[in-house]
Structure 1
């Protein structure tokens, strides 16, 4: 018995001593987002982007002579699952996190990442306060925040659509309500009347009650704040009840799943989204890699996530390792060539150089308009 215990103790000691050495052989990058559930169409493209960037860099020998290892955690874009996902990433010893992808889970996970002094870069979390209030020094993003999106969409509603009356519906989440509220503030400041401002239940099957309110309010434009599944059901209900009010949404509406779910009902729907950079060689390369490996066109947020992973890996190389303070300095003092163009991060952690355009559905496809802004 004693001999067995001694052998076991020696084996455990050897394993314990070897573990740090093995851990140091790779650089672990966490990826947190909706990899299943109703919002998987947002999270899976980001996960795919991370896989492709990591595979490419590993094929070239890795970073600083070490292979990069992807560690994925699924939070289904639910704040109540985000803390568990963040805890697992921290315990797995990741050096930096790409994600989360939704604003609510990001807000829930950030205190945990910050306690562990971990940098996180979201490709798609857009709530302005995540960067603009200065509360999260280790958080950055490669997407336009809602205030920037609202600047673009409200100016389109005012100057291009020349609306006089606007209705607002949102899903009462950080992302959706924030987008609707900022548009309202911008448009009311310009003297445009608000005829309805109301929350809808994302899981609702029947939107007939709020559609009746829209018909009575007779807005020139409906601003919707929320994600594709709710927008799809709402648009279908509106068109079925012969309410043809144009709908303007945030980037979460510009999704191929939205077009598939709504069909002809989507015609004329508008949304903000990163400017079309498909002529760039890096964009073409990223797209071709996705089509080759996954057999489909890239989905929502893919290129933003691709850019985030490129920024992370370049920063590790520039910093000479994964020390958080050195990584943060590298991220904020260097630009990186991405499928979205040359990007850098400003003092608040937002992406500078990112172009943003209004898109409109024509003949079943989102078509870019010439109404755009560039973030600084």
Structure 2
């Protein structure tokens, strides 16, 4: 590590290891002794490291690794190293379920995981029943944090759920006068959830989609559906898919010469869309939690510098899952320091996450009580930015957000 990060992170970790979080000396001693060698704390990570979603699953894992390396370099958790147990779910629900069961059988301390809504949905009960805290840094399906009553739930999330993203984008396009919206959603759980949330967001403005198109993942040609949307009078296309399918929509619009805006959730910022659709992606609008530009605050700049140095990159593709996973790892660390007993068990970590004593100044946001017993989602609409594709990169849709983004937003 270097630059700002090399000074900030070790200092933060040392401060956390003191009584600032209210740990008693006896409690700290109990957590760090009891044998000649300190036992590492095992943290599970589940992500699509192969298959169609690897382009954002790998950055998610890399964000966790970067944070763990920093934490361990600064002494870990009271002298105990964090040790990752990594599983590849391949964007496959059954493979993800098997990986989750393996981690639960291993009695892992906590898990950071999932990029795909459908994969996560099939595994939630494994963690809930095992009382293992799960922090989701990537998957956005609204239903994931709603499956269990909030006070009992072990499912936490640091990505902006689809209901928040959809409302945010619909509110914006309504102000622009784009009130005849066609919704194109893939047939996965992600697409199903997104369609439901976009429809609800439109209904809040007294609107209905003028056309709804559903399609399987991997589709290459949606010309017929685009023509139907055009004939229905659509003046905006809201696409809900993870990249390649949205490319088909963008290229189809270009081929038809149909110059209507394409809008959507954060997935429209992924390289699988922007870099492949190229000119057809120009002016696309999407919800964002993190925009890669060096005009942010020093915490974001330090994260980007650290990430690029560690992985020898000149830019950070799929920066949102990387940054959110990075922050999730530190939030988990903060929760460990908040446990007041010698046992770092699931219920104790869950209770600590719900009542974090210290504010974490992260790469994506300022986390001031991001979770509670009644709310397991860390993001609210005020924390979102509207991104726009310009010249093949995602930038700010509104110049005013450049200045606003210097100050990391807090949950409302």
TM-score, length-scaled by structure 1: 0.88
Q: Show the 5 A alignment for 1:229-308.
A: 229-276=244-291, 279-296=296-313, 297-300=315-318, 301-308=321-328
d(CA) in 2 for partners of 1:132, 1:216: 37
1:330 alignment counterpart: 352
Shift in Å, 1:235? 1.1
CA-to-aligned-CA distance 1:201-260 (integer Å, 9 cap, x gap): 111222222222223223011111121121122211221222222111111111133211
Return the structure number with greater relative CO, CA threshold 8 A, min gap 6: 2
Task: Check 1:171–1:135 CA distance in 2 against 1; reply closer, same or farther (3 A cut).
Answer: farther
Q: How many residue pairs were aligned?
A: 356
1:366 alignment counterpart: 394
What secondary structure sits across from 2:45 in the alignment?
A: strand
2:364 alignment counterpart: 340
1:70 alignment counterpart: 84
CA-to-aligned-CA distance 1:142-163 (integer Å, 9 cap, x gap): 111111111101101111x212
CA-to-aligned-CA distance 1:320-358 (integer Å, 9 cap, x gap): 552212211211211322101211224321105771112
Does the 8 Å CA contact 1:144/1:375 hold for their aligned counterparts?
Answer: no
Task: Check 1:328–1:42 CA distance in 2 against 1; reply closer, same or farther (3 A cut).
Answer: same
Does the 8 Å CA contact 2:134/2:155 hold for their aligned counterparts?
Answer: yes
Task: Check 1:23–1:181 CA distance in 2 against 1; reply closer, same or farther (3 A cut).
Answer: farther
Does the 8 Å CA contact 1:180/1:223 hold for their aligned counterparts?
Answer: no
| Alignment equivalent of 1:318, drawn from 301, 325, 338 | 338
Identify the range of structure 1 (365-374 vs 32-41) with the bigger mean alpha-carbon deviation: 365-374
Task: Check 1:352–1:122 CA distance in 2 against 1; reply closer, same or farther (3 A cut).
Answer: same
What secondary structure sits across from 1:108 in the alignment?
A: helix
2:122 alignment counterpart: 108
Task: Check 1:177–1:358 CA distance in 2 against 1; reply closer, same or farther (3 A cut).
Answer: farther
CA-to-aligned-CA distance 1:261-318 (integer Å, 9 cap, x gap): 0111111111111154852222222111111121222332111111100101111122
2:25 alignment counterpart: none
Greater Rg by CA: 1
Does the 8 Å CA contact 1:178/1:225 hold for their aligned counterparts?
Answer: no
Gaps in structure 2 of 5+ consecutive residues: 1-33, 402-408
d(CA) in 1 for partners of 2:349, 2:36: 22
d(CA) in 2 for partners of 1:173, 1:218: 27
| Alignment equivalent of 1:84, drawn from 95, 98, 101 | 98
Question: 4+ residue runs of structure 1 moved beyond 4 angstroms?
Answer: 20-24, 275-278, 371-375
Matched, 1:129 2:140: no
Matched, 1:350 2:377: yes
1:163 alignment counterpart: 178
Shift in Å, 1:29? 0.6
Shift in Å, 1:138? 0.2
TM-score, length-scaled by structure 2: 0.81
d(CA) in 1 for partners of 2:332, 2:204: 39
1:146 alignment counterpart: 162
